[in-house]
Amino acid sequence: MNRIDRLTAILIHLQTKRIVKAEEIASRFRISLRTVYRDVKALMEAGVPIGSEAGKGYFIVDGFHLPPVMFTQDEANSMLLAGKLVDKMADKSVRTAFDSALYKIKAVLSDSEKDHLENLESHVGVFLRSRYEHREQTGFTNDFLSEIQRAIAQRKVLSMEYVNTDEKLTQRCIEPVGIFYYSMAWHVVAWCRLRDSFRNFRADRIKSLHTTGEHYEKRNAISLQEYFQTMFQSNQKLTRVVVTFEKSALRGKPLYGSLSQEDLGTRIRSEFMMDSLDYMAHWLLMFGPTVEIEQPEGLKIKMAEITGELFKHYLSNQPL
């Protein structure tokens, strides 16, 4: 990226938040802090009203807005692809909002770029099972993800009717702290006032939901990572599994159930929490020698047992 493009991108970035840290800009554009300071100074000398707060970051003075900018072709393409994913992985409330945003994006494209997207539309597809799609076809709909996101951002208490794993309808008041997509469904992490503890609720099991208007205390506002760490420490039935995969073996395939992934260069280190080492061992067999188990030792033993049984089985079936 040349400097002119970077300066424009930095200006756009500054308008996305109330205050932006210099470290955040440096990380996004892979430049040094000294370069960030020089770029911000250049923008100020060009007449952009940028303020700063010691120890906090930079901000755009109220009233200044960058004129509408044109999207690059790759940026427009990425939005079209994101729309295909949203259509399969989100509920109707999010799909509607995203469609509206996508129309606004298309409105600022040139005629040739609009033609490009229209031609690309039918050549991009996402084939993914969707619980939302199935439930809408059967007449069971819930469009709560957008409302849940607003409640998280505003720290508002939600009241909902929830169908638990025993298929019983329960009334809950929750203090939502985050959402995550796992095992083909969206989940809501929240402090449940009924159970007086954090709980994980599947969004597609929420039958009705509304915002009470009550703000909840910040004491319960934890990050998703903190929630997962707490849950794993308290749930003795789950075993922490850490394995590394050769990137070439994954071929870009997603690691479903992975809680964290670390890029090691030619390998990916991934962490799982499993209730069955036997299931994990059988799944890892498909990766053959391209996978390495770091922990636990019990999983290594389980893999050795399974492969030993397979060796004996096929050796005994060899013709004499």
pLDDT in tens, the chain (320 residues): 788 888 888 988 888 788 999 999 999 999 999 999 999 999 999 888 999 988 889 998 877 766 656 677 788 888 889 998 898 888 888 988 888 888 877 777 777 888 888 889 889 888 776 555 555 544 445 689 999 999 998 999 999 999 887 788 999 999 998 998 876 788 999 989 998 888 889 888 899 999 998 998 765 556 777 777 666 555 556 788 999 999 988 876 667 677 778 889 899 999 988 878 898 999 999 999 999 999 999 999 999 999 999 988 888 766 65
Whole-structure pTM value: 0.56
What is the CATH number for 295?
Answer: 3.30.70
pLDDT at 291: 94
Say how far residue 272 (Cα) sits from the centre of its chain: 16
Q: What is the pLDDT of residue 226?
A: 73
CB atoms within 10 A of CB 166: 6
pLDDT at 160: 95
CA distance 233 to 37: 43
Q: Within this chain, do residues 270 and 223 fall inside the same structural domain, yes or no?
A: no
C-alpha distances in Å from residue 177, one per residue of 106, 163, 205, 218, 223: 33, 20, 18, 10, 7
Per-residue model confidence (pLDDT) at position 139: 46
* DSSP strand pairing (239-246 vs 291-295): antiparallel
Per-residue pLDDT, 301: 94
Task: Answer yes or no: is 67 within a domain.
Answer: no
139 in any annotated domain? no
- Structural domain ending residue among the three candidates 60, 81, 105: 60
The three-class DSSP label of residue 10 is helix
d(CA 52, CA 19): 8
Range of the domain at 217: 145-233
Residues 307, 274 share a domain: yes
Do the beta carbons of residue 179 and residue 188 sit within 8 Å?
yes
Q: How many domains does the chain have?
A: 4
CA distance 161 to 42: 54
Same domain, 111 and 153: no
- For residue 204, give the CATH number of its domain: 2.30.30
Q: How many CB atoms lie within 10 A of CB 186?
A: 22
SS3 120: helix
Indicate whether 295 belongs to any domain: yes
Domain membership of residue 218 (yes or no) is yes
